Amino acid sequence: MVDEFQDTPSVELLQWLARGSLKQNLLRAMRLWVWLHTIYGDKTVKLNLPNEWSYSDWRNLFFSETHPQGEKIPTIHDANCACAKTVREWLFTSATGITPDAWINAIKSHYCHPQEQNKKKRSSKSSELKDTSIKLLIFDPQDKNNKKTLEQILDLRLFGVTRRTLQRDLEILAELGWLRYEDQKYHLVAKFPSRPVNLHDNTTTSPMSDYELNFMHADLACIAENLSNQINGVQRFFLQLDYVTSNKKTDLVDRWHNELKDLWQQTPVPPIKITYDSARVGENIDCVVFPVCIYYMQRAVYLCACGQSPDGTTDWYNFRIDRIQNITPLTWNYPHIPNYLQQRYKKASLPTPDEIAIAIDQKAWGFDFYLKPRLMILRFDSDYDNRYIRNTNRHETFKRINYQKAKNLIVKETIEQEHREALLNVLENRSPQDAYYQANYRHKDNGIMMRLRAWRPRCEVLLPFDLRQSIAKDAAEELKLYQYEF
């Protein structure tokens, strides 16, 4: 049984659908909201789509028969076609129960700096917030000047866009978990993704809603939602995480995440200069970056940022926050902003947390999402595999393969003949009854290296050759520590 989508276009929901700056993606967010009603809404708005459908199937049901099917933006060809309806006509209906003034004020409040908003509340001139003359500029992808006021946005045709734009809308819905794309067809999902819920019937959510827990693994979030509150006065769910940051640096970490929070409240978010104590480089180094989001990973907290990396090899880097020595806010006029970052700013496409989440979810194992993916083959003895590896979830690309498949992959993936022969010779001396696994991993990702070390000596890296050699060298150095001279 598929759920029914009844959500109203609240600012919170639109912000979530925007996957980044609401100013840049407001029109798309509103379109996605309409899409969801046509796919999952009640019988008055839901389209009669087949179980497996394509964009063409949806288009033929949504638009009138005379709707153009080319690549250009459709003109107003039929007053009754969905492409003729303005944003105002989509949003402000008896079904949503939202008025233009209330919605506009909600958007403006969303972009009003908290300190300014508090001043307005204390001021006898609190009605300023409701003054529709306040000019909040919103990006309009179809306008050559690229910005419009909210009032102007409301008079735009929401679906007066190209076929390619609508196709991208569908792809985003699939990325967000609203649809499943398989065999070149879209399929409905049985459970909607976690999101800010604000129904027109004022249905309330639990104090710890799915959306508030969306920073957690989905399965853990489900447990936390169910068991976060005490049961008969007793707390039954606990989450214990290793956190390696020393107590001496706690105040420094608090300072940085509070400063970043203040920066993220600005529009646009400014670039920053980080002075970083780099373990990899071995010294303090300055990096000009755009701060995107914070992740807890590998027993520490990291700032994911785009721009300069300490070793100068990538446009992205995960900075461990407790190793940051200083943060200096900059302006977008600063002359030493990296070219890649400057270009993204000029194109109004600054990186978002969703961009990182999508990169991490792409088919490669490891947190350092900017590192090059490579194929890995591992061997475990069958007893260890039965006890600890089989039926566990490491990564979607971490899959068991048979002995012959391992051999074929070694032949296919190893370019150097000398290395290929060496690896095949190793495999000849291993049992076909052992457990073999393949995975795509981020080469040189520190978390992956730590996992491989934790599996020693029950895990053997067969591919790639250079990773095998690196681990062999580490093992040889380790062995020296345990050898006694008599």
Q: What does the pLDDT average to over 140-154? A: 67
Query: Which of these, 28, 9, 7, 8, lies nearest to 18 by C-alpha position?
Result: 28
Rg of the chain taking only CA atoms, in angstroms: 27
Judge whether 170 and 179 are in contact, CB under 8 Å.
yes
Per DSSP, 325 falls in state E
What are the DSSP E strand ranges found in 190-299? 272-278, 283-297
Cβ-Cβ contacts under 8 Å for 71 (sequence gap 6 or more)? 162, 163, 164
Q: Confidence band (pLDDT; 50, 70, 90) for 467?
A: very high
Dist. CA 252–CA 271, nearest whole Å: 20
pLDDT, position 147: 64
pLDDT at residue 297 in the model: 83
Mean pLDDT of 16-25: 77
Q: Does residue 225 carry a pLDDT above 80?
A: no
190's tokens: 């049985």
Helix ranges, 92-217 (H):
100-111, 114-122, 150-154, 163-175
Give the model's pLDDT for residue 139.
54
| C-alpha span between 301 and 259 (Å, rounded) | 15
Residue range 108-120, pLDDT digits in tens: 776 653 333 433 4
3-state class (DSSP) for residue 182: strand
Give residue 257's pLDDT band: very low, low, confident or very high (50, 70, 90).
confident
Q: Which of 64-73, 135-144, 395-404 is predicted with the least confidence, judged by mean pLDDT?
A: 135-144
Tell me how far CA of residue 466 lies from CA of 414, 419, 444, in angstroms: 10, 9, 11
Q: What are phi and psi of 307, to 5 degrees?
A: 145, -115
What is the pLDDT, as a whole number, of residue 34?
94
The ranges assigned to domains in the chain are: 11-188, 247-357, 373-482
Burial 171-193 (b: 16+ CB within 10 A, else e): ebbeebebbeeeeeebeebeebe
Q: Using one digit for the tens of pLDDT, what is the confidence trace for 368-387?
A: 888 889 999 999 999 999 99
Rounded average pLDDT over 33-46: 91
Q: Taking all residues of the chain, what is their mean pLDDT, rounded to a whole number?
A: 83
Rounded Cα–Cα distance for residues 463 and 470 (Å): 11
As a whole number, mean pLDDT of residues 434-453 equals 92
> Across the strands, what pairs with 441?
365, 374
Q: Pairing relation of β-strands 324-329 and 399-401? A: unpaired
Among 15-29, 218-232, 449-463, the range scoring the smallest mean pLDDT is 218-232
- Is 50 exceeded by the pLDDT of residue 127? no
Buried b (16+ CB within 10 A) or exposed e, 263-295: eeeeeebebbbbebbbeeeeeebebbbbbbbbb
Band (pLDDT 50/70/90 cuts) for residue 207 is: very low
Split at pLDDT 50, 70, 90, the class of 321 is: very high
pLDDT of residue 132: 33
On whether the pTM is more than 0.85, the answer is no
User: Is the pLDDT at 58 greater than 90, yes or no?
Assistant: yes
80-83 long-range contacts, Cβ below 8 Å, gap at least 24?
82/159, 83/157, 83/159, 83/160
- DSSP track, 347-399: TT----HHHHHHHHHSS-BSS-TTSPEEEEEEEE-HHHIIIIITT--S-TT-E
